Amino acid sequence: MELQMYAPILGIIGFIIAIVTYTKVKAQPIGNDKMKEISESIHLGAMAFLRREYQVLAIFIVLVFFLILLGMGFQTALAFVGGALCSMTCGFIGMKAATRANVRTAEAARASGQAAALLVSFNGGAVMGLAVASLGLVGVGIAFILFGDPETAKYINGFAMGASSIALFARVGGGIYTKAADVGADLVGKVEAGIPEDDPRNPGVIADNVGDCVGDTAGMGADIFESYVGSIIATVAIAAAAGPTLLDLLSVPGIDHEALRANAMVLPLVLAMVGLVFSVIGIYSMRVFKSIDPAKALHYTTFVGAGGFLIAAFFVIRALHISNGVFWAILAGTLAGVAIGQITEYYTASTPVARIAEASKTGPATNIIHGLAVGLESCAPPILIICVSIFVANHFAGLYGIGIAAVGMLATVGVTMTVDAYGPIADNAGGISEMAGLGPDVRKITDGLDAIGNTTAAIGKGFAIGSAALTALALFSAYATTVQLETINLINPSTVIGLLIGGALPFFIGALTMTSVGRAAGKMVDEIRRQFREIPGLLEGHPDAKPEPDKCVDISARAALREMVLPGVVAVFAPVLVGFLLGAEALGGMLAGATVAGVLLALMMSNGGGAWDNAKKYIEKGELAGEGKGGEAHKAAVVGDTVGDPFKDTSGPSMNILIKLMSVVALVIAPLLI
């Protein structure tokens, strides 16, 4: 049996493990009626939003299906639908698991303590992690079995485009949803009314908790799913179109070029299989680690997965008669991912945070100035690391090396995504325990898990950006190879025009998403103010006074669905327009410009937002001498945190997908531009 045949089989096994994990999570005790009621509201709100979102997406998918059918033929169109459906399924399952795991984490924290709570939330995240990895493998595997010959490999690109388009909508829509709710609830609740976070009197709290699932879980899942399949597919495309120079670089004595090409095409798929196996092992290792410090436990599971994968990858490459250089490229990619995570942690948890907190003493303006400075500053080190990994990967394995480095970074996505998805579950668990009044002891456990979740989320975002950058470059290389350009020449003014337009797009999408959040948050503020004003006894906490959270949920949902359309349409059609109007070289310039500007903006926004968030927490914890919760410096820091919210959770993450989606679209239409 050929190697690719194992991909869907292994994928299905992984998927079964995901479903089993889900059933196990669901079998955990749910707690008292109040908790059940709250969690049901969050669950219903999240699933209702997802349903409405998918209705909008269905129209988009049908429309684009026909466009691709006309332009590129049936195979690509079919692959497109496959990619879209896989991505949507991941989101659906991950969200179901997250909204089931949140309340059970709170109950585990109440009944059995930290270790049990950690395990429940981690398993909740593992459903998403495994779904992403295994559905990716099933989808790309089947596409590869159908279209795995060098001549037909181009059809597989449609799968990546399907995954990418869904990802953009999910990220942008989810990001707007969650931040409109968060900013609105905080501005009225915490700042104006002076009631605590997640207070049940606040009508926006349910929407805020729904938003955590919608944005951080479903959005992040779609983003990583896209990088995962995008990196595999780009590498397949590069291998399919590789010329003799590249094949020479990859070869070992005793293998001919076409056999090598076939092996190089199947390698990314095999690595993904190996990565899935070690992800499962990493996830199960949590049973061993659950009683140690949770932050360490989360790190160790990732290390188990990544370490095992690297060792196995070395032997797989040998077995496929491919040069050892490919292993060095993979190692470079993996190390780059770790290093970017460390830098992200530094900028969002160390000296820079203290600097912002210190600047809060002179008011919100200096807090913002320093936060922006930290965001801007945090761009350079990750970029240098990405440059080093490009250099190493290219040195050892040419353009193929850049693609396979991204694959290596993402192969253990099963476990890295688990750690990512754990964060919002812990966050939600904290919200539920506050709303259900489970008391300070429980809240302390969930707060502890949530705090770790914030750090892992920041690291996860750094990882997402790093992998997006490498994936985008791999897709860019695949585009250049497919479109049969010898050069994309920057001396040619049309390339420069493409570069400038490409660079402007992330700024434009950033503007759209920031405005959307600002506008929707404004409406949310008005609605929450209205409820506090018009519902008698609500603010005073009278037991008969019930808030109307559904109205807030609806405001967020409407805003998200309306505002996600334009960015998505721009990202899909801009490359098509530039490609056909200005030519293949200009389109290449556009991709390069979008990647540079997009990665930089993403880094600036994510890190700046994370640093603002933690500067606020730093003051709340009393670490800024002479200041504390409620003081002037804290108020200033709350302003920074609020500005950082759409930065780190809406606009910043949208950039990753924007650049990948544009590159994928370019790759899909490449055959028409030759």
* Segment 340 to 369, residues that bind a copy of itself, using CB under 8 A: 359, 362-366, 368-369
Amino acid at 60: F
- Regarding 379 and contact with a copy of itself (CB under 8 A), the answer is yes
- Min separation Cβ 630 and a copy of itself, Å: 16
Specify whether the CB–CB gap between 280 and 17 falls below 8 A.
yes
- Angle (CA) 351-420-54 rounded to 5° is 130
Q: How far is the CB of 236 from a copy of itself (least distance, A)?
A: 18
Number of neighbours of residue 16 by Cβ within 10 angstroms: 12
| Closest approach of a copy of itself to the CB of residue 324, in Å | 19
Q: Which is nearer to a copy of itself, 342 or 489 (CB)?
A: 489
Least distance to a copy of itself, CB of residue 557, Å: 20
Q: How far is CA 455 from CA 423, 447, 449, in A?
A: 9, 13, 10
Smallest CA-to-CA distance from 654 within 165, 103, 273, 171 is with 171
Number of residues that bind a copy of itself (CB under 8 A): 76
Is 490:589 a contact under the CB 8 Å cutoff?
A: yes
Q: Which of residues 599-638 bind a copy of itself (CB under 8 A)?
A: 599-600, 604, 638
Q: Tokens for 587, please give them.
A: 């389109």
CB 419 within 8 A of CB 302: yes
Among 271, 399, 435, 470, binds a copy of itself (CB under 8 A): 399
Handedness of CA 489, 493, 499, 501 (dihedral sign): negative
Instruction: Indicate the residue among 417 and 605 with the shorter CB distance to a copy of itself.
Output: 605
The pattern of x and - marking residues 38 through 67 that bind a copy of itself according to CB under 8 A reads ------------------------------
CA 389 vs CA 246, 346, 402, 455, 664: distances in Å: 18, 20, 8, 24, 22
> What are the phi and psi torsion angles at 251 (to 5°)?
-90, 155
In whole angstroms, give the CA distance from residue 450 to residue 639. 21
Choose one: 143-151, 260-268, 477-485, 554-562; the region binding a copy of itself (CB under 8 A). 477-485
CA distance 102 to 211: 13
Residue in the structure block whose two tokens are 């293949």: 584
Please, what is the minimum distance in Å from the beta carbon of residue 508 to a copy of itself? 5
Is residue 459 a contact point for a copy of itself (CB under 8 A)?
no
Applying CB under 8 A, which of residues 154, 171, 261, 370 lies at the interface with a copy of itself? 370
Task: Assess contact for 309 and 275: CB atoms under 8 A.
Answer: yes
Do 472 and 506 contact (CB within 8 A), yes or no?
no
* Sign of CA pseudo-dihedral 201, 205, 206, 209: negative
3-state secondary structure of 322: strand
CB of 405 to a copy of itself, least distance (A): 11
Stretch in the footprint of a copy of itself (CB under 8 A) among 93-101, 111-119, 472-480, 618-626: 472-480
* List 507, 530, 535, 554, residue binding a copy of itself (CB under 8 A): 507
| Shortest spacing between CB 434 and a copy of itself, in angstroms | 23
What does the radius of gyration of the chain's CA atoms come to, in whole angstroms? Answer: 24
Residues 562-601 as x/- pattern, contact with a copy of itself by CB under 8 A: --------------------------xx--xx--xx-xx-
141: nearest Cα among 295, 10, 312, 21: 10
Question: What letter would DSSP give residue 28?
Answer: S
Q: Does 674 bind a copy of itself (CB under 8 A)?
A: no
CB 203 within 8 A of CB 73: no
Question: Under the criterion CB under 8 A, does residue 454 sit at the interface with a copy of itself?
Answer: no
526-565 mask for a copy of itself (x: CB under 8 A)? ----------------------------------------
Supply 523's token pair. Answer: 């409406």
The residues facing 251 across adjacent strands are: 322
191 is a site residue for a copy of itself (CB under 8 A)? yes
320 lies in the binding site for a copy of itself (CB under 8 A): no
In the bound complex, what is the minimum distance in angstroms from residue 357's beta carbon to a copy of itself? Answer: 13
Distance in Å, CB of 494 to a copy of itself, minimum: 8
**Rounded CA separation 97/641 (Å):** 29
Question: For residues 135 and 478, which CB has a smaller minimum distance to a copy of itself in the complex?
Answer: 478
Residue 643 as a binder of a copy of itself (CB under 8 A): the answer is yes
Of 508, 562, 617, 629, which lies in the binding site for a copy of itself, with binding defined by CB under 8 A? Answer: 508
In angstroms, the CA 94 to CA 89 distance is 8
Per CB under 8 A, 391 contacts a copy of itself? yes
Q: Choose which of 56, 383, 535, 566 interacts with a copy of itself (CB under 8 A).
A: 383
Stretch that binds a copy of itself, among 48-56, 295-303, 378-386, 404-412 (CB under 8 A): 378-386
Q: Which residues in 230-259 contact a copy of itself (CB under 8 A)?
A: none
Q: Does 663 bind a copy of itself (CB under 8 A)?
A: no
Residue 132 engages a copy of itself in binding (rule: CB under 8 A)? no
Structure tokens at 566: 């334009």
